[in-house]
């Protein structure tokens, strides 16, 4: 019998560590014969803490939103006592949504113990790298990657095989294999889940790439804000070394390879490969002109290859099953599966791995369960701060590189921020441009100054100070920043502005000309009034008003002086009778 507690970051945040402790105490107290282990995030973050119980006959029961009371019922079940554990079982629809996914990068996440190398080995772990170094030449490995059609999962979708071939063909006795785990997009946590839930699969993918390009040393550049991921990756590296899987003469061959971890300081721009290399070298993370490309002159001016976590996580499956099997999944120009992080106004937030070509509708209303609170779907931001807002009318857009580019958005690393009718698209554009301004390295004028000017205009519009000509000025600035920036951060940073102007121009016009925010999010544009028929004169709104804008007599309708009102919204929040109208 086995009990597994989901202890990814989402599970820990929901109280999984305490649940594990309670289970451990109960198992010991009742003398229950079972194995208690941890696992990573299975993707259903909205159901955490999650506990899986595998009985001696192999039957699996998944318990969700597990509380201390639920632990007690589960322990009673294990002791064959009368219990009510059934009420905590996963709903059939949630299980069906999980089963419907096609998991490759996430195949072991939420299933195996990431801190136990034996469980990875039992799941065919390290068989792919063994096959490569004992049966295939580096050129044959690259051919298999070419047959798979795997594009880089960091956002650009650049062919993985071509990067590996370029690095292999570069002159030099020393080459580096680098993993970009500097996941900085707001709302994105795919790479974190892979490292926390299946670090050995990442290691194996990196090793295969290293064998292909002729590298004996690798580096994982992971953001310092992922402490659990770093701890589990460090442990996995130690375990692999102890088993002779990392180090000298791996599997009795001439192939030697070792891996190190570098914790990044949290600069979003270090997701760009040349900025990442600069940071690895101890310099400020700033992009460099290309060429030369990293494959020619990268880390320490030596040939280097960089792929992100999800890209590497696909590699062992491809080698075990064949490139053609991976290419059979997805669309003509976008092969395989893609992991997405569902955040925002979604009912069921978490991770989903689906074939390329799946529509936005299928993800939002299938895996994601629709919009929280039953509100209307308005848009989805894809590609992070460098992506674009795709409106509800395009909800049947297929998710592949070509289709998303046609909307003005990009695939990005896979973050999907879902927005409902209460989202102000002007404010959303302002949020992402503010993020870019804060994260810009400042090297190029267009990115450093152009984005700042766009932010100033957007802030003015959201504050009710928009002017005639602001829309045209924003559009012109966006195109100039896009064309004049050095790296991908600046080149794509105007996308939130361009797509919201393209699909939600009416909201900009309402802000500028009518001084109204139809989503009721931009407080300076809101007007608060008391509805006489609903107000009972309880005085609560007046007591909470910080500016003294509300006056009246008890048991009679109160009045809001809009000259004094600072649009804080306290009156509407505290009114129990919905007597405060917001317009």
User: What are the structural domain ranges in the chain?
Assistant: 2-91, 117-327, 337-420, 425-513, 526-582
> What is each CA distance from 243 to 121, 198, 213, 238, in whole angstroms?
11, 17, 24, 9
Comparing 583 with 50, which gets the higher pLDDT? 50
How much is the pTM?
0.93
Would you state the pLDDT for residue 204? Answer: 98
| Positive/negative CA dihedral, 100, 101, 106, 107 | positive
Mean pLDDT to the nearest integer, 385-406? 93
- SS3 at position 257: strand
**What is the C-alpha to C-alpha distance for residues 15 and 5, in angstroms, rounded to an integer?**
11
**What is the C-alpha to C-alpha distance for residues 547 and 564, in angstroms, rounded to an integer?**
6
| Window from 58-72, 180-194, 347-361, 462-476 with minimum mean pLDDT | 180-194
Architecture of domain 2-91: 3-Layer(aba) Sandwich (3.40)
- DSSP of 208-254, one letter per residue? HHHHHHT-SEEEEEEETT-HHHHHHHHHHHHHHHHTTSSBSSGGGSS
> Terminus-to-terminus CA distance in the chain, angstroms?
59
CATH class of segment(s) 425-513:
mainly alpha
> What is each CA distance from 184 to 8, 140, 227, in whole angstroms?
18, 34, 14
For residues 508 and 458, the answer to whether their CB atoms sit within 8 Å is no
Q: What is the pLDDT of residues 481-520, one digit of tens each?
A: 999 999 988 999 999 999 999 999 999 999 999 999 999 9
The percent of residues in the chain predicted with pLDDT above 70, rounded, is 100
Mean pLDDT to the nearest integer, 416-443? 94
Tell me the fold of 526-582.
Alpha-Beta Plaits (3.30.70)
Strand partners, 416: 342, 382
**Nearest in space to 160 (alpha carbons), one of 144, 136, 181, 138:** 144
Res 156 pLDDT > 80: no
User: CB atoms < 10 A from the CB of 464, how many?
Assistant: 17
Mean pLDDT to the nearest integer, 302-315? 97
Architecture of domain 117-327: 3-Layer(aba) Sandwich (3.40)
For residues 493 and 433, the answer to whether their CB atoms sit within 8 Å is yes
Q: How many CA atoms lie within 13 A of 88 on its CB side?
A: 25
**Nearest in space to 428 (alpha carbons), one of 187, 167, 128:** 187
Would you state the pLDDT for residue 510? Answer: 96
CATH code given to domain 337-420: 3.10.20.600
| Window from 99-113, 264-278, 316-330 with minimum mean pLDDT | 264-278
């Amino acid at each position: 019998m086995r009990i597994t507690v989901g202890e990814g970051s989402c599970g820990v945040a929901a109280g999984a560590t305490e649940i594990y402790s309670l289970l451990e105490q109960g198992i010991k107290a009742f003398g229950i014969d079972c194995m208690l282990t941890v696992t990573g995030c299975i993707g259903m973050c909205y159901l955490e803490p999650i506990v899986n119980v595998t009985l001696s006959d192999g039957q699996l029961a998944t318990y969700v939103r597990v509380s201390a009371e639920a632990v007690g019922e589960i322990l009673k079940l294990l002791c064959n006592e009368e219990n009510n554990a059934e009420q905590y079982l996963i709903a059939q629809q949630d299980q069906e949504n999980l089963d419907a996914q096609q998991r490759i990068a996430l195949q072991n996440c939420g299933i195996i113990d990431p801190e136990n190398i034996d469980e990875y080995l039992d799941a065919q772990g390290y068989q792919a790298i063994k096959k490569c170094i004992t049966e295939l030449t580096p050129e044959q490995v690259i051919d298999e990657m070419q047959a798979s059609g795997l594009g880089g999962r960091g956002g650009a979708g650049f062919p993985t095989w071509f990067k590996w071939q370029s690095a292999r063909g570069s002159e030099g006795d020393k080459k580096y294999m680098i993993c970009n785990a500097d996941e900085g997009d707001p709302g994105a946590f795919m790479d974190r889940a892979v490292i926390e839930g299946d670090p050995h699969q990442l290691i194996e993918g990196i090793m295969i790439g290293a064998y292909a390009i002729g590298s004996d040393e690798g580096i994982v550049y992971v953001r310092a804000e992922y402490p659990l991921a770093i701890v589990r990756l460090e442990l996995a590296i130690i375990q692999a070394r102890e088993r002779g899987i990392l180090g000298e003469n791996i599997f009795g061959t001439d192939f030697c390879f070792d891996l190190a971890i570098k914790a990044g300081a949290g600069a979003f721009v270090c997701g760009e490969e040349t900025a990442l290399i600069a940071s690895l070298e101890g310099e400020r993370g700033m992009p460099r002109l290309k060429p030369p490309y990293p494959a020619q002159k990268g880390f320490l001016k030596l040939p280097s290859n960089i792929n992100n976590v999800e890209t590497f996580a696909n590699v062992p499956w491809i080698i075990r099953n064949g490139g053609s099997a991976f290419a059979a999944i997805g669309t003509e120009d976008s092969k395989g599966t893609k992991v997405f992080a569902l955040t925002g106004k979604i009912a069921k937030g978490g991770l989903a791995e689906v074939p390329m070509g799946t529509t936005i509708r299928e993800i939002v209303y299938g895996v994601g369960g629709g919009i929280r609170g039953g509100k209307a779907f308005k848009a989805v931001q894809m590609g992070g701060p460098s992506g674009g807002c795709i409106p509800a009318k395009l909800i049947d857009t297929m998710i592949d590189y070509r289709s998303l580019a046609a909307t003005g958005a990009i695939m990005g690393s896979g973050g999907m921020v879902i927005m409902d009718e209460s989202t102000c698209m002007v404010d959303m554009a302002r949020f992402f441009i503010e993020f870019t301004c804060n994260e810009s390295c400042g090297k190029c004028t267009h990115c450093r100054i152009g984005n700042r000017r766009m932010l100033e205009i957007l802030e003015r519009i959201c504050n009710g100070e928009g002017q005639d000509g602001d829309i045209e000025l924003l559009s012109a600035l966006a195109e100039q920043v896009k064309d004049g920036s050095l790296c991908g951060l600046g080149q794509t940073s105007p996308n939130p502005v361009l797509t919201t102007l393209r699909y939600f121009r009416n909201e900009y016009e309402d802000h500028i000309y009518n001084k109204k925010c139809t989503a009721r999010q931009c407080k300076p544009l809101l007007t608060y009034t008391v509805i006489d028929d609903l107000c009972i004169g309880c005085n609560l709104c007046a007591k909470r008003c910080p500016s003294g804008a509300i006056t009246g007599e008890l048991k009679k309708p109160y009045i809001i002086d809009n000259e004094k009102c600072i649009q804080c919204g306290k009156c509407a929040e505290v009114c129990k009778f919905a007597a405060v109208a917001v317009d």
